[in-house]
Structure 1
């Protein structure tokens, strides 16, 4: 029985991860009904681990559990995105400040290695969509900045909010962003005719400030970095609505 329970929990964890990815990428649309039977067929899973997976996703905000009505994908709204961004800025800046105060040589090496990787990978694929490998490296770099905070809850909340932000970004961009060379093998992302954003330069500045133990500058740069993404998404949503 214990072995069966362990297998079920492991399956639930795997299912939760897979379904969360599909929600973030918009494969499962906001507000859509999540029928257990359909999901079990889609993900080749049993009903018990599937219910547990959906319950976990409900706890993290990706899914809504409705009394007597099952589950559905959480809705999205621009007001919610603004709230998520404000909360994320508060959490990540606090964690970054703690990391700068507590970080050791290993932390510095982690920042250098993750920054090197994200700076060397192409931001877009041949189809001009964001490169999944770059996205993973991007997440790793941001996680590295906070990793010396010595607070598992700050890091956990930052990771959760980062996932929610990724969901909004991918859902709100109706067509792929263009990229242009920025020298030294880097790329700038061109969001629309009026915005060109050098994300590689933003990352480099944040890494430099963190390694210099300049928490005021590092937090200011991080705040601007996170807010810029939200401002772009909001602008695109307004353009799509007009």
Structure 2
């Protein structure tokens, strides 16, 4: 019975999280626990446990006597998040470049190849909105920092990545015809592989803020 309960809670957590990340559950929207229980066909306890975990991740917020809401988005939060992410990701990349070996380089190249191939496969949807590309994109950025020896830096980076990924996915339908994301990733990878820290930090900051600027134009000021 305990195993079943844990399995239900895990399933509910993954399903609700996926809907938040995909924008199906809109930022700021109220989460009806009873409705989620019926729709996902899991127990009330599983829903509560899932929401508690999502609250710890910062994807939902708990309001006293009012239940849960999807964490809102705002210009102020996005800018603060992006600036902090640039700082932490830069530290991770710097340490990764100091400690990286040929296996690390191979992981980066393989992750880049997968992401680029998925961009060229025929699909009805924008490639960067598909689950496969989203996963490949995450694996690429993770590969870049995978040689960083600091577990705490990597933990902080993961939290920031999850939060920024929600914003990034909101930017995909907003129109990026003047932006070449493929080339941004390629330049970042090449700078990392040749150990050019100034170029890495410049490419990283431009890459992160390019996404932020697209979203900022669509958010109420």
Q: Which stretch shifts more, 94-103 or 123-132?
A: 123-132
Q: CA deviation at 1:59?
A: 0.8
* 1:36 equivalent in alignment to 2:33: yes
- The answer to whether structure 1 residue 204 and structure 2 residue 186 are counterparts is yes
Match of 1:153 in 2: 152
d(CA) in 1 for partners of 2:55 and 2:137?
26
Map 1:31-180 → 2, pairs under 5 A: 31-122=28-119, 125-128=123-126, 130-132=128-130, 133-171=132-170, 175=173, 177=175
Q: 1:198 to 1:82 in 2, by over 3 A?
A: same
Greater fraction of residues in helix: 2
Partner of residue 11 from structure 1, selected from 8, 13, 17: 8
Give the number of the structure whose residues are more often strand, by fraction: 1
The count of aligned residue pairs is 219
* Shift, 1:45, TM fit: 0.7
1:193 counterpart residue number:
none
Q: Any stretches of 5+ residues in structure 2 without a counterpart?
A: none
Tell me, which stretches of 5 or more residues in structure 1 are unaligned?
A: 178-188, 191-195
Stretches (4+) displaced over 6 A: none
TM-score of the superposed pair, with normalisation by structure 1: 0.82
Q: Aligned-pair distance for 1:47?
A: 1.1
Q: Which of 8, 19, 23 is the aligned partner of 1:22?
A: 19
What TM-score does the superposition give when structure 2 sets the normalisation length? 0.89
Give the C-alpha shift of residue 54 in structure 1. 0.3
Contact kept? 2:104, 2:147, Cα under 8 Å: yes
Offset at residue 90 of structure 1 (A): 1.2
CA contact (8 A) 1:129 1:176 kept: no
SS state at 1:65 partner: strand
1:176 deviation in Å?
5.5
- Please give the secondary structure, in 1, of the residue aligned with 2:25: coil
Between the aligned partners of 1:13 and 1:157, the Cα distance in structure 2 is: 22
